[in-house]
Structure formats: structure tokens, C-alpha cells
Amino acid sequence: MALAIGSRMVAFKLKNVDGKMITADDLSRGKQATVIIFSCNHCPYVLAWEDRMIQLGNSYGPCGVAFALINANDPAKYPEDSYPEMVKRAKAKNYPFPYLHDEDQSVARAYGATRTPEVFLFDAQGMLRYHGRIDDNYEDPSRVRSQELKDSLVAVLAGQTPSVSETPVVGCTVKWR
């Protein structure tokens, strides 16, 4: 079961694609909000939303929002989700945020993540304020009518409660060992 709205950010220490270890505290320290997205390389839903994730990272990073992608998929089942492939993907797409490897899947389990992409938005105090999808149309960015992550970011940055705190998560299942 996923973290409940109002839950505290779960601590972690994971390897980034640059080889450095990053903790949840490192990521969120001094930030107005922190966005954790469980992701991977191969999922068609991730690929469909990937440019929008990058755009949000580029737009809101300068506003004091930390972003991180976490890949917990089993690379034995999906070699394209291995750490070396993560490094290649982050470089190819010029990710403006860390791409972290949850090798033992403990972080995904602690968050209750079940899909990729799956969004967890925390406020400056580390409280979960939004959980769900990025927006309402993975297939066609021009047909998006509801941008839940963006709207939630705007609300949190303004010190307000998001009008929608939870949406159904749409995506591939996490590939468990």
C-alpha cells in the first residue's frame, strides 16, 4: 500500500547515475518541495511522460523543487533497466535531476510504489501532499486537460493544499525480484 497523504518522506540512500550516493535528506534539504518519481527505462508510459518530467524538472528546479527518479526494476527480468543502461538514458535525455538505483527494491517497497511512473510530492516539511500520475493523458500531450503534478506543485509552493491530493497511478508495474 502506498504512503498515505500526510505521511513523512521515507529515508533512503541510493546510487545516482553519476556514481555518487544520494540520501532523501541531501535531496530535500533547503527545498520548498521534493518530487520522487518511480521510473525506469523501458516502460512505454514512462517514455510517453519522460519529456514532461524533464520539462517540469527544468521549470520547477529553479523554484526550489528537488526532483529525483528512482528505478527499482529487476534488471535480470528487464536488462534495459540495469544501472549501466540508466546511466546511458540519463545522459542521452540530459536529465536535470538525479536518477537513482534502488537495487534491492527496499525504497520502492517502503513507499508502496507499484507502477512506473508513480509520483510522490512532498512539501518543505517532508509531508506527502500529492500521490499519483503526472497528468491525465500519457498518450498525447496536446490533449492533457488536467496537470495534477504541476497543479499540486503550484499549490505546495504557494503554501496551499493541492485541490487533488491523489489520482490513480497509470503505468507499468514495478518489476519485482
For the chain, how many residues are written? 177
The answer to whether residue 6 is domain-embedded is: no
The answer to whether residue 49 is domain-embedded is: yes
Structurally, the chain folds into a number of domains equal to 1
The answer to whether residue 4 is domain-embedded is: no
The answer to whether residue 56 is domain-embedded is: yes
d(CA 164, CA 16): 31
The answer to whether residue 139 is domain-embedded is: yes
The answer to whether residue 109 is domain-embedded is: yes
Contacts of 150 (CB under 8 A, 6+ apart): 56, 135
Pick from 173, 10, 36, 13: which is nearest to 101 by CA?
Answer: 13
The answer to whether residue 124 is domain-embedded is: yes
The answer to whether residue 122 is domain-embedded is: yes
Give pLDDT tens digits along the chain (177 positions).
Answer: 899 999 999 999 999 999 999 999 999 999 999 999 999 999 999 999 999 999 999 999 999 999 999 999 999 999 999 999 999 999 999 999 999 999 999 999 999 999 999 999 999 999 999 999 999 999 999 999 999 999 999 999 999 999 999 999 999 999 999
Residue 118 sits in a domain of what CATH number?
3.40.30.10
Domain that holds residue 130: 13-173
pTM value?
0.98
- Taking the CA atoms of 120, 54, 173 and 45 in sequence, report the sign of the dihedral they define: positive
